[in-house]
Amino acid sequence: MSASLDIIEPAEISDFRARRKSAAIASRGPASFVWGDFVVEPDSSVTGAAGLWSPLAWGRAGLLVRASVSQGITIGGALVDGEAELFANDSDGPTVAYFADGAEGVIFHYDATKYALQVWNPSSPWAKRFDDIDAFAFDNSLKFDARVTPVVNGRTVAITHHRDPRPVEVPVVAEVSFEHEGRDYRLVATPGGPGDGLFVHFTDETNGAESYSAGRGVRVVPDENGNAELDFNYATLLPCSFSLAWNCPLPAAENALGFAVRAGERNAVDANGVALV
């Protein structure tokens, strides 16, 4: 059942959408991401960042940069004049490098064996093009009572990434079940995602035609008894819909919904309504 034209969008949905739009081009917003590079050799250049970057001594989580004052890199509140260290963990020292063009750099790693400088810049090509997050009209019929069941038996699902078709087995932390038009659905939740609760990636019949092709996500916050509201009006785009620099994990095959979810975000768009990616 589609949304009725006389349904007024709740204020909390309007506020959520406004916050999402503002956050998209913030200093660490998804449209500001320009990637960077893994640093494995001494005095390496990093895309989008000034200075020359080197791995720290084995066992130390971070990178070392060599730069002059004129290059305008600030770490730990001081301009770099010679060498400075940037760390992956707050307990070790400064974790953010600020650049003269407004970009920021932070340390990223997969397995604590090699480190990358991730670069974010609110003047990225995608942030400059970004105008809005196109969304479906509010639809009260796409809000469900759900049941959340923790998974503790070591179950995994195969997850691929936006630019990498090789599957990776990822733990399942919970199942989210609900009923729609007489059919039972059971979605899997995997670790990760910002904020509290469970972030469930899903695909549906709108992907590629009416919404971003690689799926969306929705947050579910269960109460102490495992009951939750599953509200697809809060469905959000994956970061890779804002910038080609992302390599997002894609929704598990188990989370393919057999109906059209015409609620929530559709695409990140420019001033002409054209999708950014």
What's the pLDDT score for residue 195? 62
Which tokens is 69 given?
A: 């004052």
Average pLDDT in the chain: 94
Of 62, 127, 133, 131, nearest to 101 by C-alpha is: 127
Contact between 144 and 93 under an 8 Å Cβ cutoff? The reply is no
CB atoms < 10 A from the CB of 112, how many?
A: 9
Mean pLDDT computed over 48-76: 96
The answer to whether residue 1 scores a pLDDT higher than 50 is: no
3-class DSSP state for residue 255?
Answer: helix
Task: Please state the domain extents for the chain.
Answer: 30-128, 131-269
DSSP 169-214: EEE--EEEEEEETTEEEEEEE-S--SSSSEEEEEB-TTBTTTB-TT
Of 186, 159, 187, nearest to 171 by C-alpha is: 159
For 84-88, 172-176, 192-196, which range has the lowest pLDDT when averaged over its residues?
192-196
The answer to whether residue 19 scores a pLDDT higher than 50 is: yes
Q: In which element (H, E) is residue 120 found?
A: strand 115-120
Which tokens is 110 given?
A: 């997969």
The answer to whether residue 207 scores a pLDDT higher than 90 is: yes
Phi, psi angle pair for 16, to nearest 5°: -60, -45
Q: What is the pLDDT of residues 117-175, one digit of tens each?
A: 999 999 999 999 999 999 999 999 999 999 999 998 899 999 999 888 889 999 999 99
